Structure 1
Amino acid sequence: MTNIAYIRVSTIDQNTDRQLDGMTFDKTFTDKLSGATTDRPQLLAMIDWARAGDVVHVHSIDRLARSMSDLLKIVADINAKGAHVKFHKESLTFTGDDSPMQKLMLNMMGSFAQFEREVMKERQREGIAKAKQKGVYKGRVKSVDDAAILALLASGKSVRAVAAELDINPSTVQRAKKNAA
């Protein structure tokens, strides 16, 4: 049996110290990415690493997933490997042989995590709208100049190749291309 820790914070600047503090584990996986998606390198590595009899320790449900469907899938994937998932803050453990009460608790707590994320996004949208009305919000500062993007496109590189080279999203390349037309 291996005790595995999964720790997640939303940004690189955030500190992971408070999660599973004072506990020791055989293997620790840490992501510094939003929980809004399951496309997290360390999450995927942790699920791949888990074996029958292992216990995956997570500080709280919202650290594993922010959407109900993602939470249920992640827990099911870990359980399918014969490993257990233990959420310390909620004092819940899921083995795959869970009782109806355990399933209810997972669904309820997962719903709260999803609700919290949706409320947070709604507040953010409202704040941005108010700032735009006041002329204070101008959007995010561009990390790459359109001229650099257009120069690479003009050299014959594809949208994806330009995005990869400049470490930007392909949609940013498409937008620069559209604005230049």
Structure 2
Amino acid sequence: MPNATIAAPLVGYARTSTAEQEAGLEAQVRELEAAGCSEVFKERVSSVGERDQLAAALKYLRKGDTLVVTKVDRLARSTVHLWEIVRDLDAKGVGLRVLSLGGEVVDTKSATGKLILTIFAGFAQFEREMMLERQREGIAKAKAEGKYLGRKPTARAKAGEAVRLHQEGKTVTEIAKALGIGRGSVYRAIGSSPVSRA
């Protein structure tokens, strides 16, 4: 009886930013599982935040495995970051599959595979930069029209509550902890000097 070919394990990684909906993360997980991933690491973290689950996935991978992601920008925050990951995968003998590239395994050891990854990572980075530029232009336009309110100052919004707690005999440290604001903000709210209360 001929030996059956054993498929290399597929390990998925899914990520959405903290601002995105949970449904987006679950959609990625479903797509990865449909692609045959036996294990999926997932997390909600900003593009610049620490990616604990990505680190766990990279540690979990073994020679012959394939890391699968739905899009390049779910994996890496920039072209440089992508190449750091590719370098680490290559050193471990691990392949990379990007589903948005048609589901083909991108051979990071070949010149063609490296070219494809560079191009798509560049597009993903360009897209993010364009989005940020449009956001900045929108804010500038709103400010010019007097429509931009900005982020509501949390500490200022809680000033009244800080004063009330101070009048009840709470210390500055207790007030800051209760309201989730800095001690300096509490001092400003109650009109005290930093040396007046502990």
Amino acid at match of 1:102: G
Cα drift, residue 78 of structure 1: 2.3
Cα drift, residue 93 of structure 1: 2.7
Cα drift, residue 175 of structure 1: 8.5
The equivalent residue for 2:21 is 13
Q: Structure 1 residues 60, 41: closer, same or farther in 2, change over 3 A?
A: same
Count of residue pairs the alignment pairs up = 167
Identity, % of aligned pairs? 35
The equivalent residue for 1:80 is 91
Give unmatched runs, 5+ long, in structure 2. 1-7, 194-198
Please say which structure displays the higher CA radius of gyration.
Answer: 2
Q: Structure 1 residues 107, 27: closer, same or farther in 2, change over 3 A?
A: same
Amino acid at match of 1:28: V
String of CA shifts for 1:114-151, please: whole Å, max 9, x gaps: 10010000001111111122222221234455756xx9
The equivalent residue for 2:11 is 4
- Asked if 2 retains the 8 angstrom alpha-carbon contact of 1:82 and 1:95, the reply is no
Cα drift, residue 153 of structure 1: 10
Give the TM-score of the pair, scaled to structure 1. 0.73
Cα drift, residue 23 of structure 1: 3.3
- Asked if 1 retains the 8 angstrom alpha-carbon contact of 2:66 and 2:96, the reply is yes
Q: Aligned-residue CA RMSD in angstroms?
A: 3.3
The equivalent residue for 1:131 is 142
Give the TM-score of the pair, scaled to structure 2. 0.68
Which of 44, 65, 68 does residue 54 from structure 1 map onto? 65
1:1-181 to 2 correspondences below 5 Å = 1-10=8-17, 11-14=19-22, 15-19=24-28, 20=31, 22-35=34-47, 37=48, 39-91=50-102, 92-96=104-108, 98-144=109-155, 155=173, 166=180, 173=182, 176=185
String of CA shifts for 1:83-132, please: whole Å, max 9, x gaps: 21111111343444x22121111111111111001000000111111112
Determine helix, strand or coil for the equivalent of 1:30.
strand
Determine helix, strand or coil for the equivalent of 1:105.
helix
- Asked if 1 retains the 8 angstrom alpha-carbon contact of 2:173 and 2:183, the reply is no
- Asked if 2 retains the 8 angstrom alpha-carbon contact of 1:146 and 1:176, the reply is no
Determine helix, strand or coil for the equivalent of 2:100.
coil
